[in-house]
Amino acid sequence: MVEERFDVTTPEQARFLLHPEYFRILEAVMRGPVSAGAVARARGLKVGQAHYRLQKLCAAGLVRVAHEEKRGGRPIKYYRAEAAHYQIPFYLVSAGNRAELLREMFLPHLRVWSEEQGRQIDAAQSPIHVYLSRDGRIDIAQEWQSGGMGSWGTAHLTPETAAELQTRLCDLMRWLVPQMGEKGPGTRPYTLALLMAQADAYAEPG
């Protein structure tokens, strides 16, 4: 029986959960018991690499052997996650790990989005606009076609407007989550991002 929540207690457990290589291994075993061979195929690894990382996660108490299946003269082990939800206390997470994990999770989606929008531009032969934005930075925009859109940049907002925008984005996300069903007949995959953060780290243009 998989626990609903696992409370992380050691720095080692936190490192494994937030390390991009082990994060992807854990993702595979959270979906149900799988063999090292299946994990290797899903993650583009050699079986030995997948087995080594699974053993590390087992030793850390994050993954366990669910059962073994005899096949020929050698049993095949099937691994599963210890829980459906891991909670890591803030003090166990370094800033570097958090930033690295977010980049690892976001960049593949950005690549998919940019490639698809590039195909739409080619198909529609729509113009691309290069101009200076209101904050003095160069920006690029296109005439969006059906099936996609995107916008990013630095917006100078009052605290009240920023708070209202965040509330509206949260409301949109609450509406969207129940609509995000499983892959099936009549569904199509979409790359989606709702991002907002205070941009104090950006330097003002000279």
pLDDT values of the chain reduced to their tens digit, one per residue, 206 residues: 556 889 999 989 988 888 878 888 998 898 889 999 999 998 889 999 999 999 999 999 999 999 998 877 788 999 999 998 999 888 887 666 667 767 777 777 788 778 877 777 777 777 777 767 776 666 666 666 656 666 666 778 898 999 999 999 999 989 988 887 667 788 887 777 778 887 765 444 44
pLDDT of residue 168: 93
pLDDT of residue 111: 81
pLDDT of residue 205: 41
Query: What is the CATH architecture assignment of 6-90?
Result: Orthogonal Bundle (1.10)
pLDDT of residue 116: 77
Tell me 10's DSSP state: S
Q: Where in the chain is the domain with CATH 1.10.10.10?
A: 6-90
